[in-house]
A and B are shown apart, each in its own frame.
Chain A
Amino acid sequence: MKPRTKRLFFVLLALCCVGAASALITKAMKGNLAYLHTPEQVLAGEVPEGQVFRLGGLVKEGSLERSKTDLEARFIVRDNRNNEITVVTNKILPDLFAEGKSQVSRGKMAKDGLFYAEEVLAKHDAEYMPKELSDTLNKEHAPAPAKKGTYQ
């Protein structure tokens, strides 16, 4: 075998190993990657008490209450199986934060069953549509696409 062919095989072998490593890491990341917990997981007691974690889910429509005197805000985070957790925060809510949209908040559960968030982040989907166009699309395809209201 010519040295060049040998090296070609060596590089191809290395490439296969790298591909396998990548596939295995991607596979291992799924499920194990506890970036956030859903309300269902929290209510099932999967998160140890007093631990800081991220709570992901939709902001329940009509649940946002702001305090008249300070920054404090309360809202309910829900999933699609009607598991609900009330979040309390005194941080500024991001621009994209809205009822019916996804959010990720970091904090911990207290004994009173409320989630006290140190940080509230808004999540947005990969939809880049002008407002008018998206409104008409939603009207045409009534009932409105479930995309907006689905979370996990």
Chain B
Amino acid sequence: MKINWFKYSAPMSFYPLAGKLIPLFWIAAIVCIAGGLYWGFFKTADVLNDQKQYYRIIYVHVASAWMAMWLYAVMVFWAMLGLIFNTRLSYMLASATAITGTVMTVIALATGAIWGKTSWGTYWDWDPKLTSFLILLFVYIGYIALQSAIDDKRRSDKASALLALVGLALVPIIYYAVNCPDPTECASLHQESSLKRVESNILIGMLVTTLGFWMYSFATTLMRARIIILERERSTTWVSKLAEITNSERKH
């Protein structure tokens, strides 16, 4: 059986599909995040080798920092598909992903600051990892700003897709700023990100929460994509015939 993947690249057929998927992703997100946090808060050790209870912010911090980087890659993926195939929906998904990515970056920076104050003794330091992560936030904001600065949607899509593509250079830098093979070459305050020395109970909490964050990201991205579709396709007949549009017009 041959599935026609391009069928769903048309906003008209994607819109109802996304509408059906959103509740499923919300349920999965709530279950995973609640489960992961419950496990993390009540089923793991209270005191670590060196850190006290406050280490538990790790469940939110690591999950959001991972998501901030992965969502950037997802955004670039959609932007690239848009550049190659000129599909409107890819660009819409790219800009829908950008906002969730920005939110995740802000959460990672904020939880990192709180954790840093309690463990390292400072909210912020110009350490390579922290600094490159702050630049990631600026690239996200730059993408959103560029998108809204150009009125012609076709041009703003292309311009911001290029910006996203160039900004991709940052993601390996964030990773290698502390994880380079020779530790003497990358001195930093932030510890290296290695999962090898994380106890399995703590790891379970981290991974389940991360899965929940993925589900949350899917749900919010699809919701935003639906709004963008309605905005950009408002002059088409299929939008004017949608039940939600005709209902709201009847009310007014």
CB-CB nearest 8 A-B residue pairs: A94-B121, A130-B45, A22-B169, A134-B49, A30-B185, A127-B197, A126-B191, A128-B198
Q: How far is the CA of A124 from the CA of B194 in the complex (A)?
A: 13
Interface segment, A31-39, A42-50, A60-68, A70-78? A31-39
Considering only residues 28-54 of chain B, those with a C-beta below 8 Å from chain A are 44-45, 47-52
| B159 CB to nearest chain A CB (Å) | 14
| A132 CB to nearest chain B CB (Å) | 8
| B57 CB to nearest chain A CB (Å) | 12
| B122 CB to nearest chain A CB (Å) | 6
| Known A18-B166, A18-B168; contact A96-B50, beta-carbon cutoff 8 A | yes
- Are A8 and B84 within 8 A (Cβ)? yes
Q: Type the 1/0 row for B209-252, where 1 means its CB is closer than 8 Å to any CB of A.
A: 00000000000000000000000000000000000000000000
* Chain A residues packing against B (C-beta within 8 Å): 4, 7-8, 10-11, 14-15, 18-19, 21-23, 25-26, 29-31, 33, 35-36, 56, 92-98, 101, 104, 119-134, 152
Note all chain B residues with C-beta closer than 8 A to A10.
83
Interface residues on B, range: 35 or more
Interface segment, B64-72, B145-153, B171-179? B171-179
Q: Type the 1/0 row for B167-195, where 1 means its CB is closer than 8 Å to any CB of A.
A: 01111110011001011111111011110
**Can you list 30 pairs linking A and B with CB atoms under 8 Å apart?**
A7-B83, A8-B84, A10-B83, A11-B80, A14-B162, A22-B169, A26-B177, A29-B173, A29-B177, A29-B186, A30-B185, A30-B186, A94-B121, A95-B52, A96-B121, A121-B121, A122-B121, A124-B50, A124-B51, A126-B194, A128-B48, A128-B197, A128-B199, A129-B197, A130-B199, A131-B47, A131-B49, A133-B45, A134-B48, A134-B49
Note all chain A residues with C-beta closer than 8 A to B186.
29-30, 33
Q: Does B142 contact A (CB under 8 A)?
A: no
Q: Type the 1/0 row for B72-104, where 1 means its CB is closer than 8 Å to any CB of A.
A: 000000001001111000000000000000000
